[in-house]
Structure 1
Amino acid sequence: MNKNTRADMSICSLARMDELTKFFKRYNGVKAIMGFGSLGDLRRFDDYSDLDFLLVCTSETRTELLENLDNMQAVAPIAYAGIEGEDTVKLLFMDGVLCDFGIVTEEQLQDIPHTSGRFLWKKDGFSDKYADSTVTQKEKIVEDNWCGNVLIEVYVGLLRELRGEKAAAFEKIQYEAVRKLLSGLYGNKNRDLADEFSSLRRAEQLGAAESILKEIMPGYGKNAEAARAIIRCLPEGEDLQKLLEHVNDLIKACEDRQTQD
């Protein structure tokens, strides 16, 4: 397969998942393998999907697997394998198949928030309940006071901009505030399509026009412009005039500083 193209990658990725399932279930301590995201709902699986799955195993097998990721070379040649946090593995095979998977115990699984998944394999007696979603945000994707929360994120970001922390300001305004804005505007329009963890996922499909996205996320060094664009997107009728005045004052201060520079 030409690694510079994603053509037919969905076929390759799903075949790789079958190979991985056979590989992992040979470990006596592995209790279940669960697919999530588009791997949990194959209707959404395409050439750009990664393999998002979870291994549930004994504590001893968890340690063994995390300490011996190179053993997965038996499945296919590996370009990169690394551990994020305590139990999340990011692994890229040489042919471009990307895996993002966790290795946890059954006890840990009970405390991990996750969307609905499907079992790729499980031992007899392993509870079906673990495939059910534990995420409660979906019932309330849109916060009650989302407009005010958007403006607070913008306000904090502008303070950081004025302090000279442009990167930190970018994070608050063009990431945190934008996430809350998109959630508020589109989160209830199609709950099946909306992502429980990030409103940036599938934002275009939910109705966010590219022209608007370009305005609210114009890039590093353009935080004041982003702040003004975000305010223009807020619906009228919210009783936030005093907060909005403070935000506008900070935007003006940022713009004045840019003029002086």
Structure 2
Amino acid sequence: MSKTEKLLKRLDEIGKVLERKGGAEMLLGLGSVGMETERLDEYSDLDFFVIVKPGYKERYIRQLDWLEEVYPLAYSFRNTDDGCKILFDDGIYGEYAIFEERELESCHYAEGRVVWKAPSYTRVDFAKPSRPAPRLIEDSLDHPLNEALTNLYVGLGRYARGEKLTATRFVQSYAVGSILSVLHLLETEEPYFPDVFGLERRLEKRYPRFAANLGEMIQGYDRVPESALCILQYIERVYPVNQRLAREIRQLANICRQL
């Protein structure tokens, strides 16, 4: 049995155990085991919600017998108030959250696939979120790209002081992240499962032209100046950069390269 088949089978088996245990109303598969099974591969994992009756939430978070009955657990970690991260003994990894119905009304989540539900439970509309996901993309280049430019300047100043870790974040994370928020304005997005909670997800397939630049933009801890110069050059190709600021960034980068 392939990994993808095992993942879907494991989720079905969890649903059967929930039915026997009682107190559960519905099991929602999310992500690649939810509405996007076409992208399942050997590196996928389980991501799911369990909707329970009032009073059952803590039972299903604190007592993991409902998972152990499906397959022995090698590891579990309660990472939020609502759920855990787990590793089954056969190597299948998963993350889940337990909610009462009333809690879902205020949650942000992507549409899920109903894997199992109690016969008497009728609220299948909860498979779709009632609240829109937080907006990550921007409608104008001005703010994000100027934010990226100032990230470069501040980051290089910190690098010059010897603060290389924070410099790495400003240049290779914050500045690049700002660019991601406007990529849809700069090039055509290929249709491949965008994630409303993370612009970096599947970026290599969604924006292959931009992704070809990432190796130069993100060169690592010891090459922050070189990364900053590549990011600056990219922004200059797509936006009218203030020339004085560009000169200051290049001057700082050259100072940093000599340290």
With the length of structure 1 as denominator, give the TM-score of the two structures: 0.82
Q: State the Cα distance separating 1:30 from its structure 2 match.
A: 1.6
The 2-side partners of 1:160 and 1:129 are apart by 50
Gaps of 5+ in 2: none
Seen in structure 2, the aligned counterparts of structure 1 residues 239 and 89 have a Cα distance that, compared at 3 Å, is same
Tell me the equivalent position of 1:3: none
Seen in structure 2, the aligned counterparts of structure 1 residues 59 and 221 have a Cα distance that, compared at 3 Å, is farther
Matches within 5 A, 1:37-52: 37-40=31-34, 41-52=36-47
Seen in structure 2, the aligned counterparts of structure 1 residues 8 and 128 have a Cα distance that, compared at 3 Å, is same
Tell me the equivalent position of 2:172: 174
Q: Report the residue type matching 1:29 in the other structure.
A: G
Identical pairs, percent? 27
Q: State the Cα distance separating 1:32 from its structure 2 match.
A: 1.6
Tell me the equivalent position of 1:128: 124
Does structure 2 conserve the Cα–Cα contact (< 8 Å) formed by 1:186 and 1:206?
Answer: no
Matches within 5 A, 1:108-257: 108-123=103-118, 124-133=120-129, 134-137=131-134, 141-144=137-140, 145-186=143-184, 189-190=189-190, 193-209=193-209, 211-234=212-235, 236=237, 238-241=239-242, 245-246=244-245, 248-250=247-249, 252-257=251-256
Gaps of 5+ in 1: 1-6
Q: 1:48-69 CA deviation, whole Å, 9 max, x = no partner? A: 2111111122453211122123
Q: 1:154-180 CA deviation, whole Å, 9 max, x = no partner? A: 344334434433223322322232233
Q: Report the residue type matching 1:197 in the other structure.
A: F
The 2-side partners of 1:97 and 1:237 are apart by 43
The 1-side partners of 2:31 and 2:213 are apart by 27
Seen in structure 2, the aligned counterparts of structure 1 residues 126 and 173 have a Cα distance that, compared at 3 Å, is farther
The 2-side partners of 1:126 and 1:171 are apart by 47
The 2-side partners of 1:71 and 1:28 are apart by 10
Matched residue pairs, number? Answer: 251
Picking from 78, 84, 96, the partner of 2:73 is 78
Seen in structure 2, the aligned counterparts of structure 1 residues 180 and 246 have a Cα distance that, compared at 3 Å, is same
Q: 1:75-134 CA deviation, whole Å, 9 max, x = no partner? A: 112221111122231111121111111112222222221112121122334423322244
Seen in structure 2, the aligned counterparts of structure 1 residues 20 and 159 have a Cα distance that, compared at 3 Å, is farther
Q: State the Cα distance separating 1:29 from its structure 2 match.
A: 2.3
The 2-side partners of 1:191 and 1:151 are apart by 29
User: Helix, strand or coil: the match of 1:13?
Assistant: helix
Does structure 1 conserve the Cα–Cα contact (< 8 Å) formed by 2:17 and 2:66?
Answer: no
Q: 1:188-229 CA deviation, whole Å, 9 max, x = no partner? A: 624663221222211111233554111111112222222211
Q: Report the residue type matching 1:15 in the other structure.
A: K
Answering whether residue 258 of structure 2 is matched by residue 259 of structure 1, we say yes
Q: Report the residue type matching 1:33 in the other structure.
A: L
Q: Report the residue type matching 2:70 in the other structure.
A: V
Seen in structure 2, the aligned counterparts of structure 1 residues 239 and 253 have a Cα distance that, compared at 3 Å, is closer
With the length of structure 2 as denominator, give the TM-score of the two structures: 0.83
Seen in structure 2, the aligned counterparts of structure 1 residues 238 and 207 have a Cα distance that, compared at 3 Å, is closer
The 2-side partners of 1:254 and 1:237 are apart by 21
Matches within 5 A, 1:3-18: 8-18=2-12
Tell me the equivalent position of 2:13: 19
Matches within 5 A, 1:96-107: 96-107=91-102
Q: State the Cα distance separating 1:235 from its structure 2 match.
A: 5.6
Q: Report the residue type matching 2:189 in the other structure.
A: K
